[in-house]
């Protein structure tokens, strides 16, 4: 492994099949995708296009009984793996949360309703970093301030139902960042939130990406969100990549008919009214 | 001594929740007294007739005396109020069959049933929830199918028949199990502390008695365990399956936690409320099951007492049993509600 | 004059038809979804086994005079003979043929359990529907009574009732009716509560249908399936409870060849295993069969409905 290899993830020919051999269903049909550190890679497509499955496959959380093909190579500051798919389950579990973290669509569903924020925030880092309870608590406080959750001290003692959706998603981001991963998979991170708090979350993701040199994969069906945040955009349909390019290229001059249709379906043409400054 | 005056007690949400549940339980207990009383008064047969036997019952003076002694000559509402008033004094009336105070009869029968039921419920929870979780984690694999079959048999087999079959095989044919009752005839009951022979024997240091009581407990216990485990495996399997589909389990796995941590901290905690509900239900059906099992094993518990008093129209005894069983069941559910409140922060807010 | 038909809705106003049309397709979809998908339920091998056993027992119950080798009540053999070439299941303490008595037992348990299940399903569903539909005080009263009855261990409550009414099979059924309606009331109430707020019901109310009309036309067809499943699961339960009461001597009276009472005979002579073994096996096979079919039916319901049905008390 040389330092010249750029940090981040690289997917080559990723395939995923569900179901028994006879009646297998192709969910992913050879995805090529680069998720470099320090930038936000957008993955767009309608539901059923395989974008969420791509995110799960990177974390090794594909549904039981599915078969993966191709390679996912990872290079990070602490080491590299030429193919995540070839790792033993144990080794993959050690990477999960430590190198590659994930946030989900609905924070009210992805946080356990009966466990305190402190326990949910610290169990991952205590597992991966082998630190003491008090050390973990100090880190948790710092993380909560970092994602701008007000009053971190009291927040730690609370339960998820005592927060609003926007605050919860910030907490979920803090949980994802707890063990200092270098890749963050964000699966529809703003879809379940009120429009008024969406911008705040997106802004936070951008900031974290820039300051922590994170490689972020932003999975969303919302081209508005995509055009506001992503550096590069990949459009998927039926398990295949139909378009790939920089944000401006894809939004302003879409090549495929499908992307054009998606963009035309937006209520307002996004390129005109969204820039980062407006977030 | 400084006294701080407050406008009403300052209660945390958990305390308030427990207080409300307690109030509801008390109301339910009153409801139970009403139900048992009403049912007992539905009797078309004449309890005097049943209690006195044919010769005495043909003498109107004896019948009138009996009716007066039992309070049967007063209006129904007065009878109920009297019944409640007596309850508050701890008086459940006198059994027309044993001529003992019902409380005295129950204080012998109740611990017998409690010992059996506690033995069963503890084992059933450990085995049933454990196997149910295991089956859910191995959904549709061999263990899952196997447990499904076992639990199906457990809930489909008539308890009284299983009790009889177990007795026949392990006592009559194999001589592994001791005979009926709670202790062998050669042994004396240990000095009464709790009324549970195993516990009392340990307290008194009588180890022979302890092992003897335990060996008597095992066969009726296992019969009831099979039924209760069948119930618990089925329901905890589906509760755990529900939770496994929750996004927070996926999120916990995405953190890279060990599978043990995910299962014990996230999955089981998530499934704990429905599992608790089932435990409450299982406890109710366990009480029904003991009635039938006690009959076969001559256990001398509440079930046998209820059966004896029901067949002899011993109304005070029947009402006493109904009340005790109702109170036990309501108390169990109260405890379960409190545990709900303790483990689930969302419950106590409402 | 034709009233709008909710089963085949026509968009009221083309200008507004986008949401209405959506609701209409969902309506069809919802209606299909909560009905039973029978073919898939019957493709399961376990369900097929269960269904076959049930069918066999019903055939036995109907044609037993031609199937049973002997008169179930005739005391015509040596007492307590073990199973042999003449008496396949042996003879009981009065010299009656156990096989014939076991087969005749189907004629007692199956119809009584059927009556019990149908009656408690009807009573419970009606009460639950009333509670769910009208809500407020009506709901409170009905459901609190249901809770109270539910709070009691079934057999003990049934024992008190049979003790009060006197032991007989009819009274045992009445006693069990008394304790078995609440689970139907609960399921029905929760289904009605769920259905009451669905678009198609609200639409019906907006069109001016009376509450009873919407209950009857829009809600009942959709909640019938879960109640049916519950009834199937409850059937085995009813058999267990009835035979349990008879076992205690609070149901069938001699010489009725009732399964539970026959097992009780086995307690008196427990060294003669065949007395209890065969009637017990009969109970077991019927109950298992109904549980197998009930399970398959429940699995074919959609998950949310199935969850409501799980609340069955056993």
List chain B residues with CB under 8 Å of A102: 251, 254
Of A48, A9, A55, A31, the closest CA to residue A214 belongs to A9
The answer as to whether A120 is a domain residue is: yes
Average pLDDT over residues A57-80: 87
3-class SS string, B167-208: HHHHHHHCCCCCCCCCCCCCCCCCCCCCCCHHHHHHHHCCHH
The answer as to whether A68 is a domain residue is: yes
> A78 preceded by cis ω (within 30°)?
no
State the pLDDT at residue A151. 92
State the pLDDT at residue B45. 56
State the pLDDT at residue A144. 93
List chain A residues with CB under 8 Å of B247: 104-106, 109-110
Within 10 A of B61 (CB to CB), how many other CB atoms are there? 8
Residue A87's φ and ψ, nearest 5 degrees, are -70, 150
Q: Which residues neighbour B245 within 8 Å (Cβ) at sequence distance 6 or greater?
A: none
Which residues pair with residue A217 across a beta bridge? A41, A185
Residue A41's φ and ψ, nearest 5 degrees, are -100, 120
Alpha carbons B332 and B287: distance in angstroms, whole number: 12
Confidence of residue B42 (pLDDT cuts 50, 70, 90): low
Strand duo A215-220 + A39-44: pairing: parallel
CB contact under 8 A, B158 and C283: yes
Q: What is the dihedral of CA A191, A192, A194, A198, to 10 degrees?
A: -40
Three-class SS of residue A207?
helix
Q: Judge whether A258 is closer than 8 Å to chain B, CB to CB.
A: no
Q: How far out from the chain centre does Cα B115 lie?
A: 10
Choose the closest CB to B247 out of A104, A124, A127.
A104
DSSP E strands in A108-266: the ranges are 183-187, 215-220, 232-237, 240-246
Choose the closest CB to C156 out of B235, B291, B296.
B291
What count of Cα atoms within 13 Å lies in the side-chain half-sphere of residue B195?
16
Confidence of residue B47 (pLDDT cuts 50, 70, 90): low
Higher pLDDT: B225 or B292? It is B225
Alpha carbons B144 and B244: distance in angstroms, whole number: 15
Of the spans A219-228, A258-267, B185-194, which averages the highest pLDDT?
Answer: A219-228
Residues 314-343 of B with CB under 8 A from A: 343
Within 10 A of A215 (CB to CB), how many other CB atoms are there? 27
State the pLDDT at residue C2. 37
Length of chain B, in residues? 350
Sheet holding A215-220, edge to edge: A100-103, A183-187, A215-220, A39-44, A232-237, A240-246
List chain C residues with CB under 8 Å of B318: 159-160, 163
Chains C and A touch (3+ CB pairs under 8 A): no
What's the number of domains chain A is made of? 1
Instruction: Give the range among A207-211, A225-229, B225-229 with minimum mean pLDDT.
Output: A225-229
CB contact under 8 A, B255 and A101: yes
Q: Judge whether A91 is closer than 8 Å to chain B, CB to CB.
A: no
Q: How far is A159 from chain B (nearest CA, A)?
A: 7
Q: Position of tokens 């506690």?
A: B118
Domain ranges of chain C: 42-66+75-309
The answer as to whether A273 is a domain residue is: no
List chain A residues with CB under 8 Å of B270: 112-114
Alpha carbons B257 and A59: distance in angstroms, whole number: 13
CB contact under 8 A, B329 and C313: no
Chain C residue with minimal CA distance to B31? C148
Q: Which residues neighbour B111 within 8 Å (Cβ) at sequence distance 6 or greater?
A: B194, B195, B196
Phi-psi category of residue B149: left, alpha or beta, with phi > 0 → left and psi -120 to 50 → alpha: alpha
Looking up residue A73, the CATH number of its domain turns out to be: 3.40.50.300
Of C152, C159, C203, the closest CA to residue C181 belongs to C152
Residuewise pLDDT in 10s, chain C (314 residues): 333 333 333 333 333 333 333 333 333 333 334 444 455 545 677 888 889 999 999 999 999 888 878 788 777 877 777 887 877 888 888 878 888 898 998 999 999 999 999 999 999 988 988 888 787 888 888 887 887 777 677 777 777 777 777 778 888 898 888 888 888 888 888 877 777 666 776 777 677 777 667 667 766 777 778 888 888 888 988 999 899 888 888 888 888 888 988 888 888 887 788 888 899 999 999 999 999 888 888 777 755 555 555 443 33
Q: List the single best residue of A112, A122, A124, A158 to mutate versus B (max B Cβ within 10 A).
A: A112
CB contact under 8 A, A127 and B258: yes
Q: Which range of residues forms the domain containing residue A72?
A: 8-265
Alpha carbons C157 and B35: distance in angstroms, whole number: 9
State the pLDDT at residue A131. 92
What does the angle CA C238 – CA C241 – CA C244 come to, to the nearest 5 degrees? 145
Which residues pair with residue B101 across a beta bridge? B94
Asked if pLDDT for residue A142 goes beyond 90, the answer is yes
Choose the closest CB to A98 out of B256, B261, B265.
B256
Q: Judge whether A261 is closer than 8 Å to chain B, CB to CB.
A: no
Residue A219's φ and ψ, nearest 5 degrees, are -95, 120
State the pLDDT at residue C233. 84
Alpha carbons A171 and A149: distance in angstroms, whole number: 7
Of the spans A181-185, B29-33, B152-156, B169-173, which averages the highest pLDDT?
Answer: A181-185
The answer as to whether A2 is a domain residue is: no
Q: Is-contact B226 B196, C-beta < 8 A?
A: no
pTM: 0.79
Strand duo A100-103 + A39-44: pairing: unpaired
Q: In this complex, which chains have at least 3 CB pairs below 8 Å with chain B?
A: A, C
What does the angle CA C222 – CA C124 – CA B35 come to, to the nearest 5 degrees? 155
List chain B residues with CB under 8 Å of A61: 250, 253-254
Q: Output the DSSP codes for A169-192.
A: HHHHHHHHHTT--SEEEEESTTTT
Residue B257's φ and ψ, nearest 5 degrees, are -65, 160
Q: Judge whether A159 is closer than 8 Å to chain B, CB to CB.
A: yes
Question: Residue ranges of the alpha helices (H) in chain C?
Answer: 17-34, 38-43, 45-67, 98-134, 136-150, 154-165, 169-196, 199-206, 211-214, 220-247, 259-268, 274-300, 303-309
ipTM metric: 0.88
Q: In this complex, which chains have at least 3 CB pairs below 8 Å with chain A?
A: B
State the pLDDT at residue C288. 92
> How much of chain B, in percent, has pLDDT values that exceed 90?
9
Choose the closest CB to C263 out of B161, B172, B321.
B161
List chain A residues with CB under 8 Å of B254: 59, 61, 96-97, 101-102
Alpha carbons A129 and A146: distance in angstroms, whole number: 19
The class level of CATH for C42-66+75-309 reads mainly alpha
Length of chain C, in residues? 314
What count of Cα atoms within 13 Å lies in the side-chain half-sphere of residue B324?
27
Q: What is the pLDDT of residues B86-134, one digit of tens each?
A: 888 888 888 888 888 888 888 888 899 988 998 999 999 999 999 999 9
> C268 preceded by cis ω (within 30°)?
no
Alpha carbons A99 and A118: distance in angstroms, whole number: 21
Average pLDDT of the residues of chain B: 82
Asked if pLDDT for residue B71 goes beyond 70, the answer is no
List chain B residues with CB under 8 Å of A78: none
**Per-residue DSSP letter, A162:** G
């Amino acid at each position: 492994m040389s330092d010249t290899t750029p940090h981040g993830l690289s997917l080559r020919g990723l395939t995923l099949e569900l179901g028994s051999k006879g009646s297998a269903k192709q969910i992913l049909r050879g995805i090529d995708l680069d998720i470099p550190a320090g930038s936000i890679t957008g993955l767009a497509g309608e539901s059923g296009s395989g974008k969420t499955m791509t995110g799960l496959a990177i974390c090794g959380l594909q549904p039981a009984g599915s078969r993966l093909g191709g390679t996912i190579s990872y290079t990070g500051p602490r080491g590299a793996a030429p193919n995540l798919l070839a790792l033993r389950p144990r080794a993959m579990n050690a990477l999960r949360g430590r190198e590659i973290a994930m946030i989900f669509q609905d924070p009210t569903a992805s946080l356990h309703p009966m466990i305190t924020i402190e326990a949910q925030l610290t169990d991952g880092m205590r597992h991966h970093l082998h630190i003491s309870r008090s050390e973990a608590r100090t880190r948790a406080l710092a993380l909560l301030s970092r994602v701008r959750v007000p009053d971190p001290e009291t927040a730690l003692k609370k339960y998820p139902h005592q927060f609003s959706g926007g605050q919860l998603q910030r907490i979920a981001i803090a949980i994802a960042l707890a063990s200092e991963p270098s890749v963050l998979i964000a699966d529809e991170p703003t879809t379940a939130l009120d429009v008024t708090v969406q911008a705040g979350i997106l802004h936070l993701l951008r900031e974290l990406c820039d300051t922590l040199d994170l490689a972020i994969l932003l999975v969303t069906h919302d081209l508005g969100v995509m055009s506001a945040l992503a550096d590069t955009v990949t459009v998927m349909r039926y398990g295949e990549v139909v378009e790939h390019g920089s944000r401006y290229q894809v939004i302003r001059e879409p090549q495929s008919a499908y992307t054009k249709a998606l963009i035309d379906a937006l209520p307002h043409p996004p390129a005109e009214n969204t820039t980062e400054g407006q977030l | 001594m400084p006294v701080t005056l407050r406008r009403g007690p300052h209660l945390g949400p958990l305390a308030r929740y427990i207080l409300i549940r307690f109030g509801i339980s008390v109301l339910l207990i009153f409801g139970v007294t009403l139900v048992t009383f009403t049912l007992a008064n539905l009797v078309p047969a004449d309890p005097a007739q049943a209690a006195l036997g044919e010769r005495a019952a043909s003498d109107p003076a004896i019948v009138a005396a009996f009716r007066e002694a039992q309070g049967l000559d007063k209006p129904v509402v007065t009878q109920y109020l009297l019944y409640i008033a007596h309850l508050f004094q701890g008086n459940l009336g006198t059994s027309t069959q044993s001529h003992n105070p019902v409380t005295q009869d129950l204080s012998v029968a109740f611990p017998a049933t409690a010992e059996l039921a506690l033995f069963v419920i503890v084992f059933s929870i450990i085995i049933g929830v454990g196997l149910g979780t295991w089956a859910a984690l191995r959904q549709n694999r061999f263990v899952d199918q196997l447990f499904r079959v076992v639990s199906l048999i457990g809930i489909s087999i008539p308890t009284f028949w299983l009790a009889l079959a177990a007795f026949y095989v392990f006592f009559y044919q194999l001589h592994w199990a001791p005979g009926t009752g709670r202790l062998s005839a050669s042994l004396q009951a240990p000095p009464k502390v709790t009324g549970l022979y195993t516990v009392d024997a340990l307290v008194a240091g009588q180890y022979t008695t302890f092992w003897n009581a335990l060996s008597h407990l095992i066969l009726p216990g296992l019969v009831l365990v099979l039924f209760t485990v069948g119930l618990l495996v089925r329901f905890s399997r589906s509760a755990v399956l529900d939770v496994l589909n929750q996004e927070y389990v996926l999120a916990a796995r995405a953190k890279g936690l060990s599978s043990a941590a995910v299962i014990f901290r996230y999955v089981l905690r998530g499934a704990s409320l429905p599992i608790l509900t089932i435990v409450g239900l299982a406890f109710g059906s366990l009480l029904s099951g003991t009635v039938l099992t006690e009959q076969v094993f001559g256990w001398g518990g509440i079930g046998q007492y209820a059966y004896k008093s029901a067949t002899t129209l011993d109304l005070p005894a029947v009402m006493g049993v109904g009340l005790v069983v109702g109170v036990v069941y309501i108390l169990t559910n109260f405890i379960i509600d409190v545990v709900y409140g303790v483990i689930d922060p969302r419950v106590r807010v409402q | 004059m034709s009233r709008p038909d909710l089963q085949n809705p026509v968009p009221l106003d083309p200008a507004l038809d986008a949401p209405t049309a959506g609701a209409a397709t969902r309506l069809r979809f919802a209606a299909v979804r909560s009905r039973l998908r029978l073919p898939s339920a019957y493709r399961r091998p376990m369900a097929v086994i269960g269904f076959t056993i049930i069918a066999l027992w019903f055939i036995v119950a109907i044609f037993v005079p031609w199937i049973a080798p002997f008169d179930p009540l005739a005391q015509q053999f040596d007492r307590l003979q073990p199973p042999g070439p003449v008496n396949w299941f042996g003879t009981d303490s009065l010299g009656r043929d156990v096989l014939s008595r076991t087969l005749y037992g189907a004629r007692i348990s199956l119809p009584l359990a059927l009556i019990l299940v149908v009656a408690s399903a009807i009573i419970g569903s009606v009460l639950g529907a009333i509670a769910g539909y009208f809500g407020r005080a009506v709901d409170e009263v009905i459901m609190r009574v249901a809770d109270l009855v539910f709070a009691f261990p079934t057999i003990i409550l049934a024992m008190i009732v049979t003790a009060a009414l006197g032991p007989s099979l009819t009274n045992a059924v009445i006693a069990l009716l008394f304790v078995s309606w609440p689970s139907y009331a609960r399921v029905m109430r929760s289904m009605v509560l769920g259905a009451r707020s669905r678009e198609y019901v609200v639409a019906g109310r907006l069109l001016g249908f009376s509450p009873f009309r919407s209950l009857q036309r829009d809600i009942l067809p959709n909640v019938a399936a879960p109640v049916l499943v519950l009834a199937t699961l409850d059937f085995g339960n009813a058999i267990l409870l009835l035979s349990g009461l008879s076992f205690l001597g609070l149901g069938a009276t001699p010489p009725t060849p009732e399964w539970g009472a026959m097992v009780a005979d086995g307690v008196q002579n427990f060294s003669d295993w065949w007395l209890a073994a065969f009637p017990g096996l009969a109970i077991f096979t019927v109950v298992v069969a109904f549980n197998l079919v009930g399970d398959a039916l429940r699995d074919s319901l959609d998950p949310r409905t199935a969850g409501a049905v799980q609340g069955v008390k056993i």
